[in-house]
Chains A and B, each alone.
Chain A
Amino acid sequence: MKKREIIIIGIILLAAVGALVFMRLSSASQNQLYVKITVDGELYDTIPLTDDLDTEFTISTDLGENHVVIKNGTVDVDWADCANQVCVNTKSAEYLHDTIVCLPHKLIVEIVDGE
């Protein structure tokens, strides 16, 4: 590899890591956080995320089912009947912009701040 090529790859990596750091820093928001659930582009539910909220429910649509657990200020999809199980394997969402997505079920669970 030429020097120039290594530099280009380095810049791309740096930009990606920079974006990750920026996202984490900007997630230290003091605003109330919400769990926003979207199915097939339509808002399904918005739930204020508080430390003492302890709930679980199943989202079922024509495409399939995802089981969502909210407790200790984190959200997790711990069971789903989708093919790739990516949503189940994704670690629980806790900070602003953390997202759990199930592409086969067109489901997005994300953390947003109050607006």
Chain B
Amino acid sequence: MMNRKSPRYISTMAMLIAVALILAYVETLIPALPIPGAKIGLPNIVALLALLTLGFADALVILFVRAVVSSLLFTSVMSLAYSLAGGILSLVVMFLLTRMYKKEQIGFSVLFVSVMGAVAHSTGQVLVAMFVMSTASLLYYLPWLVVISVITGLFVGLVVYFVYRPFQRVLKSGAR
């Protein structure tokens, strides 16, 4: 693990937050699906990558900063509750699942972790929305969101599958 005060650590975190923000922005350019909360979840690529390479605490910091900044820049402050609830639940689920693997040998199982994270993300958002809107009828959206999550989760997992090793190599190169 990197020393938290090292310039290397700080710049790695800053870079990951920047990439997550760019992905969050790109996602706002994609037309909204006709289902509330349905998104590709591009910033999840960074969340999962950070989880695999840096660990839970750093991934949580990146998620939090990204969610706050992107809600201020691109969406509304009200959407922050949804994105944080979904994001944190998803991160916790993915963290617990990645513990079952030797990270270096996770291989295609990263797709499984990503899908479960995406499903957790949708579930968290629906739960918060039900609470905010004080209605249970939003539950009818959950099956649609779960189906979409499986597809987007596979996509995000596939991206992480290809980026993980090169990224790991960059992190390790020159590390003392």
Q: Which residues of A contact B (CB under 8 A)?
A: 1-2, 5-6, 8-9, 12-13, 15-17, 19-20, 23, 38, 40-41, 83-86, 89-91, 97, 99, 101, 103-104, 106, 108, 110
Which residues of A are found within 8 Å of B31, using beta-carbon distances?
A: 89
- Chain B residues with CB under 8 Å of chain A are 31-37, 75-76, 78-79, 82, 108-109, 111-112, 115-116, 119, 129, 132-135, 137-138, 140-144, 146-147, 150
Closest B residue to A90 by beta carbon equals: B34
- In the bound complex, residues from chain B placing their C-beta under 8 Å from that of A103 are 36-37, 78-79, 82, 129, 132-133
Cβ A16 vs Cβ B147 within 8 A: yes
Q: How distant is the Cα of A13 from the Cα of B133 in the complex, in angstroms?
A: 27
Q: 6 additional contacts, CB 8 Å, given A19-B142, A86-B35, A103-B36? A: A5-B109, A8-B112, A91-B34, A99-B141, A103-B78, A108-B137
**B111–chain A nearest beta-carbon distance, Å:** 6
Partner of B111, one of A1, A16, A91: A1
Whole-angstrom distance between the alpha carbons of A51 and B94 in the complex? 48
Across the interface, A97 reaches (CB within 8 A) one of B109, B111, B140, namely: B140
B116 neighbours in A (Cβ, 8 Å): 8
Given A1-B108, A1-B112, A13-B147, does the pair A101, B33 have CB atoms closer than 8 Å?
A: no
CB-CB under 8 A from B134, the residues of chain A are: 40-41
- CB-CB nearest in chain B for A23: B140
| B108 close to A41 (CB less than 8 A) | no
* In the complex, chain A residues whose CB is within 8 Å of the CB of B141: 99, 101
* Residues of chain B with a CB closer than 8 A to A84's CB: 32, 75, 79
A101 to B32, CA, bound (A): 13
**Closest residue of B by beta carbon distance from A63:** B78
- Complex Cα gap A20–B75 (Å): 30
Contact A85:B146 (CB < 8 A) given known A1-B108, A9-B115: no
